[in-house]
A and B are shown apart, each in its own frame.
Chain A
Amino acid sequence: MSSHSSLIESSATAQLELLMRGDLFSVELTQAYLDSIASRDANVGAFLRVEKDRALAQAASVDKRRQSNKPLGKLAGLPVAVKDVLCDQDTITTCASRMLENFRAPYDSTVVAKLKAADAILIGRTNMDEFAMGGSTENSAFQITRNPWDLERAPGGSSGGAAACVAADMAPLSIGTDTGGSIRQPAGLCGVVGLKPTYGRVSRFGLVAFASSLDQVGPLARTSQDAALLLETIAGHDLRDATSLDRPVPAYSQSVAEPLAGVRIGLVREHFAEGLDSEVASAVRDAVAVYESLGATVKEISLPHSKHAVATYYVIAPCEASSNLARYDGVHYGHRTDEAEMLEELAAERKALEAAKDEVGLSRLDSSLVRMYRKSRSEGFGAEVKRRIMLGTYALSAGYYDAYYLKALKVRRLIRQDFDEAFREVDLIAGPVTAQTAFKIGEMVDDPLSMYLVDLYTVSANLAGIPGISLPCGFDKSGLPIGLQLLAPPLEEERLLRGAHMYEQATDWHQRRPEI
Chain B
Amino acid sequence: MSQLYTTVIGLEVHVQLATKSKLFCRCSTQFGAEPNTQTCSVCLGLPGSLPVMNRTAFDLSLKTAVALNCVIPKFTKWDRKQYYYPDLPKAYQISQYDLPMSSAGWLEISDEKGSFEPKRVRITRAHLEEDAGKSIHDEAAGKADSEIDLNRTGTPLLEIVSEPDLSSSAEAKAYLQELKLLLTHIGVSDCNMQEGSLRVDANINLHIDTPEGKIATPIVEIKNMNSFRAVERALDYEAPRQFRVWQETGQKIGEAPKQTRGWDDSAGVTRGQRSKEESSDYRYFPDPDLVPVLVTDDQVAEARKSLGELPADLRNRFVQEYGLSAYDASVIVNQGQGVTNYFEQVARESGDAKSACKWVTQDILRLLKDGEQEINAIGVSAANLAGMISAVNDGKLPKPRAKEAFELMLSTGSTAQQAIQELGIEQVDESALVELCRELLDKNPRVVADVQSGKVQAIGALIGQAKKLNPNVDPGRFREICLELAMESSSSE
A, B: real partners: yes
Which residues in B have their C-beta under 8 angstroms from that of A87?
47-48
A143 in the interface, Cβ–Cβ < 8 Å?
no
Within 8 A of A (CB), among B277-334: 281, 283-285, 288-291
Bits for A362-403, please: 1 = Cβ < 8 Å to B, else 0: 000000011001000000000000000000010011100100
Complex CA gap A397/B285 in Å reads 10
Within 8 A of A (CB), among B28-65: 41, 44-53
Which residues in B have their C-beta under 8 angstroms from that of A314?
none
B84 in the interface, Cβ–Cβ < 8 Å?
yes
Q: Choose from A100, A212, A401 the contact partner of B47 (Cβ within 8 Å).
A: A100
Which residues in B have their C-beta under 8 angstroms from that of A369?
86
A405 in the interface, Cβ–Cβ < 8 Å?
yes
B90 in the interface, Cβ–Cβ < 8 Å?
yes
Which residues in A have their C-beta under 8 angstroms from that of B84?
326, 329, 370, 373
**Interface-located stretch among A239-247, A426-434, A453-461, A476-484:** A239-247
Known: A205-B50, A240-B50, A393-B283. A326 touches B90 (CB 8 A): yes
Bits for B83-97, please: 1 = Cβ < 8 Å to A, else 0: 010100111100000
- CB of A331 within 8 A of CB of B289, answer no
Bits for A337-375, please: 1 = Cβ < 8 Å to B, else 0: 000000000000000000000000000000001100100
Complex CA gap A100/B289 in Å reads 22
Which residues in B have their C-beta under 8 angstroms from that of A393?
283
- CB of B45 within 8 A of CB of A208, answer no
Which residues in B have their C-beta under 8 angstroms from that of A103?
47
- CB of A109 within 8 A of CB of B285, answer no
In the assembled complex, the CB of B146 is this many whole angstroms from the nearest CB of chain A, namely 8
Q: Choose from B48, B52, B150, B289 the contact partner of A239 (Cβ within 8 Å).
A: B52
Known: A242-B291, A323-B92. A396 touches B285 (CB 8 A): yes
Complex CA gap A243/B86 in Å reads 28
The residue in chain B whose Cβ has the minimal distance to the Cβ of A97 is B47
- CB of A242 within 8 A of CB of B47, answer no
Q: How many B residues touch the partner, as a band?
A: 20 to 34
- CB of A323 within 8 A of CB of B52, answer no
- CB of B289 within 8 A of CB of A242, answer yes
Which residues in A have their C-beta under 8 angstroms from that of B90?
326-327
Bits for A72-96, please: 1 = Cβ < 8 Å to B, else 0: 0000000000000011000001010
A304 in the interface, Cβ–Cβ < 8 Å?
no
Complex CA gap A205/B49 in Å reads 6
- CB of B45 within 8 A of CB of A105, answer no
Which residues in A have their C-beta under 8 angstroms from that of B82?
323, 326, 396
Known: A242-B291, A326-B82, A327-B89. A105 touches B46 (CB 8 A): yes
In the assembled complex, the CB of B233 is this many whole angstroms from the nearest CB of chain A, namely 31
- CB of B47 within 8 A of CB of A323, answer no
- CB of B289 within 8 A of CB of A109, answer no
In the assembled complex, the CB of B143 is this many whole angstroms from the nearest CB of chain A, namely 12
B80 in the interface, Cβ–Cβ < 8 Å?
yes
Within 8 A of B (CB), among A200-221: 204-209, 211-213
Which residues in B have their C-beta under 8 angstroms from that of A212?
288-289
Known: A323-B82, A327-B91. A105 touches B41 (CB 8 A): yes
A106 in the interface, Cβ–Cβ < 8 Å?
yes
In the assembled complex, the CB of B299 is this many whole angstroms from the nearest CB of chain A, namely 19
In the assembled complex, the CB of A464 is this many whole angstroms from the nearest CB of chain B, namely 15
Complex CA gap A397/B280 in Å reads 10
In the assembled complex, the CB of A209 is this many whole angstroms from the nearest CB of chain B, namely 7
Complex CA gap A332/B36 in Å reads 11
Complex CA gap A243/B150 in Å reads 26
B216 in the interface, Cβ–Cβ < 8 Å?
no
- CB of B291 within 8 A of CB of A331, answer no
Complex CA gap A326/B148 in Å reads 18
- CB of A208 within 8 A of CB of B48, answer yes
Most chain A C-beta atoms within 10 Å of own C-beta, residue among B50, B89, B148, B290: B50
Which residues in B have their C-beta under 8 angstroms from that of A95?
47
In the assembled complex, the CB of A445 is this many whole angstroms from the nearest CB of chain B, namely 26
- CB of B285 within 8 A of CB of A401, answer yes
- CB of A332 within 8 A of CB of B89, answer yes
- CB of A240 within 8 A of CB of B52, answer yes
Which residues in A have their C-beta under 8 angstroms from that of B284?
396, 401
- CB of B46 within 8 A of CB of A326, answer no
In the assembled complex, the CB of B95 is this many whole angstroms from the nearest CB of chain A, namely 13
- CB of A105 within 8 A of CB of B285, answer no
Which residues in A have their C-beta under 8 angstroms from that of B48?
86-87, 93, 105, 109, 205-209
In the assembled complex, the CB of B381 is this many whole angstroms from the nearest CB of chain A, namely 46
A319 in the interface, Cβ–Cβ < 8 Å?
yes
Complex CA gap A107/B291 in Å reads 24
Which residues in A have their C-beta under 8 angstroms from that of B52?
239-242
Q: Choose from B51, B148, B281, B283 the contact partner of A323 (Cβ within 8 Å).
A: B283
- CB of A332 within 8 A of CB of B285, answer no
Complex CA gap A213/B80 in Å reads 14
Which residues in B have their C-beta under 8 angstroms from that of A86?
48
Bits for A427-449, please: 1 = Cβ < 8 Å to B, else 0: 00000000000000000000000
Complex CA gap A107/B42 in Å reads 11
Most chain B C-beta atoms within 10 Å of own C-beta, residue among A93, A206, A319: A206
The residue in chain B whose Cβ has the minimal distance to the Cβ of A399 is B281
- CB of B47 within 8 A of CB of A93, answer yes
Complex CA gap A107/B91 in Å reads 21
The residue in chain A whose Cβ has the minimal distance to the Cβ of B283 is A396
In the assembled complex, the CB of B441 is this many whole angstroms from the nearest CB of chain A, namely 89
Which residues in A have their C-beta under 8 angstroms from that of B41?
105-107
In the assembled complex, the CB of A327 is this many whole angstroms from the nearest CB of chain B, namely 5
- CB of B289 within 8 A of CB of A319, answer no
In the assembled complex, the CB of B56 is this many whole angstroms from the nearest CB of chain A, namely 16
The residue in chain A whose Cβ has the minimal distance to the Cβ of B36 is A332
Which residues in A have their C-beta under 8 angstroms from that of B51?
242
Which residues in B have their C-beta under 8 angstroms from that of A242?
50-53, 289-291
Which residues in B have their C-beta under 8 angstroms from that of A327?
45, 47, 89-91
In the assembled complex, the CB of B183 is this many whole angstroms from the nearest CB of chain A, namely 27
Q: Choose from B44, B49, B285 the contact partner of A405 (Cβ within 8 Å).
A: B285
Complex CA gap A384/B285 in Å reads 23
In the assembled complex, the CB of B386 is this many whole angstroms from the nearest CB of chain A, namely 51
Bits for B76-113, please: 1 = Cβ < 8 Å to A, else 0: 00001010101001111000000000000000000000
Which residues in B have their C-beta under 8 angstroms from that of A370?
84
Q: Choose from A204, A211, A326, A331 the contact partner of B50 (Cβ within 8 Å).
A: A204
The residue in chain B whose Cβ has the minimal distance to the Cβ of A396 is B283
A320 in the interface, Cβ–Cβ < 8 Å?
yes
Complex CA gap A496/B344 in Å reads 70
Complex CA gap A239/B284 in Å reads 26
In the assembled complex, the CB of B286 is this many whole angstroms from the nearest CB of chain A, namely 8
Which residues in A have their C-beta under 8 angstroms from that of B89?
327, 331-332
Which residues in A have their C-beta under 8 angstroms from that of B281?
397-398
Residues on A facing B (Cβ under 8 Å): 86-87, 93, 95, 100, 103, 105-107, 109, 204-209, 211-213, 239-243, 319-320, 322-323, 326-327, 329, 331-333, 369-370, 373, 393, 396-398, 401, 405
Residue pairs across A and B with Cβ atoms less than 8 A apart, 9 shown, are A95-B47, A105-B47, A205-B49, A243-B291, A326-B84, A332-B150, A396-B284, A398-B281, A405-B285
Besides A327-B91, A332-B44, A396-B285, 19 new A-B residue pairs in contact (Cβ under 8 A), listed by A number: A86-B48, A87-B47, A93-B47, A100-B47, A105-B41, A106-B41, A106-B46, A212-B289, A242-B50, A242-B51, A242-B290, A319-B285, A323-B283, A326-B92, A370-B84, A373-B84, A401-B283, A401-B284, A401-B285
10 tightest Cβ-Cβ pairs between the two chains A and B? A326-B91, A213-B288, A212-B288, A396-B283, A208-B47, A206-B48, A87-B48, A208-B48, A327-B90, A398-B281
